[in-house]
Amino acid sequence: MAVHRRVLVLDADMIACLSIVRSLARHGIICDIAASTGLATLSQYSRYAGQLFRHPNPLSDADGFVDFIAGHLQCHTYDLVIPVTERSLIPLAHSTKMQPWVDILAIAPRDSLNKVLDKEQTMAVAQQCGVVIPLSQAVDSVADIQRLLPDLSFPVVLKPGRSIPNADSRQQLSVAYAFNATELLELGAALLSHCQVLVQSYSLGIGTGIELLADHGEIVYAFQHQRLHEVPLTGGGSSFRKSIAVDPDLLAAAARLIKALNWHGVAMVEFKWQPDTGAYTLMEINGRFWGSLPLACAAGADFPWLLYQLWVDGQRPATQTYRPAIYCRKLASDIYWYEQVFRRSEEPRLFAYPSTGQLLKDALWVLHPSRHAFDVQQWRDPLPGLMDIVQIAQAYYQRVAGLLAQKWQVNKHRSAAMQNRLAQRLKQADKVLFVCYGNINRSAVAQVLAEQMLADAGIRFASAGFHPVAGRPADATMVKVAAEQGVDLSACRSKILDSAMLAEADVVFVMELAQLSRLQAAFPGTADKSFLLGTLNPAQALEIADPYNKAPTAYQHCFTVIKTALGCWAEGLRR
């Protein structure tokens, strides 16, 4: 009787999942896949994919996610369960509910994993191993940053201590760059509201990864790639990269780290590397499969199969070979990379824009019959690639259509007819309602400012939001910004927008075009009395952006824009 080998691959919305499915299918292994409810996944279109299962989002409902996986494993038998991202890896690694299946979870030992997830601990291990790291300092407060200022050289890099903090929201955070002390303090304050922050010196060099498989602290297979295009331009996931021969110094540095961590499983050790001098700096360690996995598989470094053999069969790789000078492209991201380059969208102090000749050379690699591959598009498994192209086309169509629609809306709300209609409404208004998403920033500020600046207008003011939770205090950062301007938001508590509020209001001001559409879709009778607050001031942008979770300057700008708009209204009443 044939024994069917079966694996469960999580994070099916990630392209790395598709690479794992394709790899293991070549060796006769059935791969079921799982993804959060509502997330689009290319893997489900693969001819090699087994069943698709949907689970709660681990970022917003970690307990529900763990309960689903535990219940699923009680009913289904797998040789291996492979988390592809930290959003699924972290809750599984730290939940005692997963203890019965710990042997089939492709997750490194908890102590090793914690040191990799915490960037400060990672850098401490690297220092102990003699691995070169950027000048780094962990900070817990803005005061800590201020103490560092005399010794810093700009630009500097700010990294969240964990890309997904251990907090209720488990929001995914990104690296930021500061070019002066003001930017550093603002960006640092925004990140510190979520977790500890690592302030690092900016490192020169090419983004390079040593991808590896380790057996309890010993590297048993290694692969190296070099990033050619990154999104964002200043550094991030690669959209175009190539395989290169393993550099002995980088491999030795990675080996020291892996041994010190007693790492077991796959990992990528990321460096900034200067090939001409051999100088390198450690950036981070990813303790999971990486985004450029399709390149490794295309070059013959079949990491999913190697992991399966090691974890399930206890077999180490028999060979260390792979093909260098193989190029691989993530089509959607690389199209976006070219767009950003042509638009010159990034800070030139951090990104050296390539020449036209280099851009053309990189693009022409798609024509090479044997040395170029795509992350998704494959002749042997065509449907995911076709769906990827469809999604790319849909995304750009929606962007263009959205821009055209937005331009039409802006012209409409800037028109003399709209200005006259608003003026007539305000003359007859007894009550004005301000609406934003959460009612803890923009609409709350608008209500309090209007009550002060238009106190003699004989109008009642109120505010509300679409957010489904009432009674929340105003955003602490906005409270501080407003207090500096003599405005007290301490008594503000959020309200949920409802039909009774709207029926009572003579004029409803929203902050964004999307909110206007949402309001009119949910409450069709409000169309004639709904306006954008930015319409009051023709000299400023029509939409007022949400400052939530952004730098303090965003809050200050938001406050000023709202105050200026209301000032235009007050000035009109005085005339």
From the list 555, 467, 391, the residue with the least C-alpha distance to 39 is 391
Q: How confident is the model at residue 345 (pLDDT cuts 50, 70, 90)?
A: confident
342 CB-contact burial (10 Å; exposed 0-12 / middle 13-18 / buried 19+)? exposed
| pLDDT at residue 1, rounded to an integer | 40
At residue 36, the 3 state secondary structure works out as strand
Question: 82 pLDDT exceeds 70?
Answer: yes
Residue 293 has pLDDT above 60, yes or no: yes
> C-alpha angle with apex 143: 139 to 146, nearest 5 degrees?
90
Q: What angle do CA 402, 405, 410 make, to 5 degrees?
A: 120
Continuous H helices in 205-330: 248-261, 293-298, 303-308
Structural domains in the chain, CATH included, are: 6-107 (3.40.50.20), 113-117+203-380 (3.30.470.20), 135-201 (3.30.1490.20), 415-574 (3.40.50.2300)
Task: Note if the bond before 155 is cis, omega within 30 degrees.
Answer: yes
Residues 6+ apart with CB under 8 A from 280: 132, 205, 208, 249, 250, 253, 271, 272, 273, 274
Residue 380, Cβ density class (10 Å: 0-12 exposed, 13-18 middle, ≥19 buried): exposed
Residue type (1 letter), 168: D
Q: What is the mean pLDDT of residues 389-406?
A: 92
Quote the CA–CA distance of 418 and 424 in Å, as a whole number: 10
Of the candidates 315, 296, 287, which has an alpha carbon nearest to the alpha carbon of residue 115?
Answer: 287
Tokens representing residue 158 in the block? 């700010």
Report which of residues 142 and 25 the model is more confident about. Answer: 25
**CA angle, 35 then 401 then 520, to 5°:** 80
Q: Alpha carbon of 45 to those of 162, 253, 387: distances in Å? A: 33, 40, 8
CA pair distance 500, 523, nearest whole angstrom:
11
The reported pLDDT for the residue numbered 225 is: 97
For residue 571, the one-letter residue type is E
- Spatial distance between the Cα atoms of 334 and 410, rounded to a whole number of angstroms: 31
Site of tokens 């004989």: 458
Q: H-helix or E-strand containing 16?
A: helix 15-25
Neighbour count for residue 532 (Cβ, 10 Å): 23
Task: Determine which of 191-205, 291-305, 474-488 has the lowest per-residue pLDDT on average.
Answer: 191-205
Catalytic residues: 436, 442, 546
Q: Quick one: 437 exposed, middle or buried, by C-beta within 10 A (0-12, 13-18, 19+)?
A: buried
Q: Are 102 and 80 a contacting pair, CB within 8 Å?
A: no
pLDDT tens track for 310-340? 999 999 998 889 999 999 999 999 999 999 9
Total-model pTM: 0.77
Q: Which range has the worst mean pLDDT, 64-73, 90-99, 155-164, 265-274?
A: 155-164
3-state class of 237 per DSSP? strand
Per the listing, tokens 């010159």 go with 344
- Determine the pLDDT at residue 138: 83
- Residue 325 CB neighbours (<10 A): 10
Which of 167 and 527 is assigned the larger pLDDT?
527
Q: What is the pLDDT of residue 510?
A: 96
Determine the pLDDT at residue 531.
95
Q: Which distant-in-sequence residues (6+ apart) come within 8 Å of 102 by Cβ?
A: none
Q: How confident is the model at residue 373 (pLDDT cuts 50, 70, 90)?
A: very high
Provide the 3-class DSSP secondary structure of residue 218: strand
**Residues 416-425: pLDDT tens digits?**
899 899 999 9
**Is 17 within 8 Å of 33 (Cβ atoms)?**
yes
Q: Average pLDDT over the chain, rounded to whole?
A: 92
- Residues written for the chain: 575
Angle subtended at Cα 349 by Cα 344 and Cα 350, rounded to the nearest 5 degrees: 80
Q: If pLDDT is split at 50, 70 and 90, which confidence band does 439 have?
A: very high
